Amino acid sequence: MTEELFDPNAPSDSTVAARLAAEALIIDVDGFEGPLDMLLTLSRTQKVDLRKISILQLAEQYLLFVERAKELRLELAADYLVMAAWLAFLKSRLLLPPDPEEDGPSGEELAAHLAFQLERLQAMRDAAAQLLARDQMGRDFFVRGIPEQVERVRRVRYTATLLDLMQGYARLRTKDEFRPFVLDREAVFTMEQALERMRGLIGFAGTWTDISSYLPDDFRTDAKRRRSATAATFAASLELAKEGKVEIRQSETFAPIELRRKRHD
């Protein structure tokens, strides 16, 4: 619809054409899909290959359009004004000699990219038209009109999301009974602990005493803890015997092991 705004046989006087175009654009600004679309439409007035388009001229046409819109006190959408500001900047870059102090892209580079964008948009429009011109299903060719009764056989496909996977893993790693690489010391009474405990108690062991009485209270009832504490206490007793601090005796196999402080006579 917007294409019709421009008569292809109009006089090639670009300023007249541009003015006419600008007027038409103002009336029909709602018909445009944004500033890039409008630039593409404006570029048609140059009647040259998009690759040879004068971006400077295009920028001037666009700025003229915005000026006219302001004169008519028409409100333009923000992105049209943003584009106008950018084109004004581009125009100054193209007209002024390059500032050696400045690092940014040159006016030519910016202009070339805008030309590329316009050409690409036009190419996509042409591609869309070519696509729609193809033979289409339901218009040029048709599918089977009487599908056969096809019996459905159900097959189950299993699926999971990344979230399921991570949650599953997190669940495992936070499971209380699961700590595969951290030694569970809850039920372990170490020899060091036993030694420390016995060193404090040994001074009172003047008479033969069953080593089981040296087990800490909280390691007596639970079988696992008791086993660990017994082993540790026994090992600690041997250590103390080696140091010459205690004596150990056992009357027969499996009889209670007893110890007392070694007297130093």
Name the minimum Å distance from CB 238 to other proteins.
28
Q: Is the Cβ of residue 95 or residue 137 nearer to other proteins in the bound state?
A: 137
State the amino acid at position 149 in one-letter form.
Answer: Q
Name the minimum Å distance from CB 163 to other proteins.
8
Q: Is the Cβ of residue 14 or residue 193 nearer to other proteins in the bound state?
A: 193
Q: Which residues contact 35 (CB under 8 A, 6 or more apart)?
A: 62, 79, 80, 82, 83
Virtual CA dihedral for 202, 207, 210, 214, nearest 10 degrees? Answer: -20
Q: How far apart are CA 233 and CA 191, in angstroms?
A: 7
Q: Is the Cβ of residue 10 or residue 48 nearer to other proteins in the bound state?
A: 48
Q: Is the Cβ of residue 111 or residue 202 nearer to other proteins in the bound state?
A: 111
Taken as a whole, the chain contains a residue count of 265
Name the minimum Å distance from CB 219 to other proteins.
14
Name the minimum Å distance from CB 72 to other proteins.
23
Name the minimum Å distance from CB 148 to other proteins.
4
| ∠ CA 39-5-29, rounded to 5° | 55
Q: Is the Cβ of residue 181 or residue 204 nearer to other proteins in the bound state?
A: 181
Q: How far apart are CA 43 and CA 89, in angstroms?
A: 19
How far is residue 260 from each of residues 198, 217, 247, measured CA to CA in Å? Answer: 11, 20, 6
Q: How far apart are CA 3 and CA 22, in angstroms?
A: 13
Q: Is the Cβ of residue 95 or residue 133 nearer to other proteins in the bound state?
A: 133
Name the minimum Å distance from CB 193 to other proteins.
15
Task: Report the 3 state secondary structure along 19-73.
Answer: HHHHHHHHHCHHHCCHHHHHHHHHHHHHCCCHHHCCHHHHHHHHHHHHHHHHHCC
Q: How far apart are CA 52 and CA 71, in angstroms?
A: 32
